[in-house]
A and B are shown apart, each in its own frame.
Chain A
Amino acid sequence: MALNPWLTVIIWAIVVIALTGPMLTLPMFWSRRKPDPFRDMPFESGQVPQGEARHRLVMQYYPYLLMFVAFDVVGMFLFAWGMSFTKIPLYASFPVLLFLFLLAAPLGYALHLALRRENW
């Protein structure tokens, strides 16, 4: 009776899409749809929207995104090591600890920047 678990995951995804999709598509049929420039206007507390909506970007947090990419990779490496930590001899874990230790330098620099500068 054992189905391949990945196949079960795919069936589960299909079931979810098949059962929630109608919630989105069916209202399209019965809901009244009358285009009206005032109702379709973006919400700005009753004001008429001015300017481009997609241009107010906060540049100041960009470095955090860069750190996120780096530590995403590090996290995945640590998981691969962590699940076999009890199965490998202890000395084999030293490179990983060295790996973490080496990463402390950019982390420290980034946090130093983050704490010293008020802008990010």
Chain B
Amino acid sequence: MEIAIPPDLVFVILAAVTLIAAVLALQAKELIYGAIALGISFIGIAGFFVFLDAPYLAMLQIAVYVGAVVVLILFTIMLVRREQSDELLDRPEGGQGAVGLWLAGLLAVAIAGVAALAGPNLPAAPPAGNLPVSSLGLVLAAEYPIPLVILALLISAALLGALVLAKVEK
């Protein structure tokens, strides 16, 4: 059975889900809903990774971001949450919202414009299947040993710091 689903359609749906969820993450009244929307946005990005022939990255994205970081965020929200104060905290003061919107919109439009102008000169996609999953591990371990060790130091330092910060004081 061969069903031709236009890749553009899937792409547009994915992009819409990702972007709307990202906006909701920042604008939802309840912080918990914001965190859930953030998780959905991360899953959308994972969908893009599948599209881009990087399934391992997609799984990493889901397991690390949605499975761990969003859980941590939700738990922290439940620790620091107070009824009704969240909404007041997030309302922009005065002209701040407009300025932020202008700044962000200008930046996004500028980058998107450059990308669109450069569009014809950008390379077209080579056929899929050139990036087998195992090559990722190969390159990771064989070609980038120093970043790996630096990353170990980074994780150690961050974990130690976070543990010391979160230590229950008596």
Say yes or no for A6: interface residue by CB 8 A criterion. yes
Size of chain B's interface in residues, with CB distance under 8 A? 47
B5, B148, B166: the one contacting A95 at CB < 8 Å is B148
- The distance in angstroms between the C-alpha atoms of A107 and B153, with both chains bound, is 13
The residues of B that contact A12 with a CB separation of less than 8 Å are none
Verify B141–A92 contact, CB threshold 8 A: yes
Chain A, 64-94, contact with B by CB distance < 8 Å: what is the 0/1 string?
A: 0111111011101101111111011100111
The residues of B that contact A94 with a CB separation of less than 8 Å are 145
Say yes or no for A15: interface residue by CB 8 A criterion. no
The residues of B that contact A7 with a CB separation of less than 8 Å are 5
Say yes or no for A24: interface residue by CB 8 A criterion. no
Smallest Cβ distance from B12 to chain A, in angstroms? 15
Known contacts A3-B2, A99-B151, A109-B163: A69-B69 contact under CB 8 Å: yes
Smallest Cβ distance from A76 to chain B, in angstroms? 5
Residues of B within 8 A of A (CB): 1-3, 5, 50, 55-56, 59-60, 63-64, 67-69, 71-72, 75, 78-79, 81, 83, 133-138, 140-142, 145-146, 148-149, 151-153, 155-156, 158-160, 162-163, 166-168
Query: Given known contacts A66-B166, A80-B137, A80-B140, what 11 new A-B pairs fall within 8 Å (CB)?
Result: A52-B83, A62-B79, A65-B71, A66-B163, A67-B159, A72-B67, A80-B141, A81-B141, A95-B149, A98-B152, A105-B160
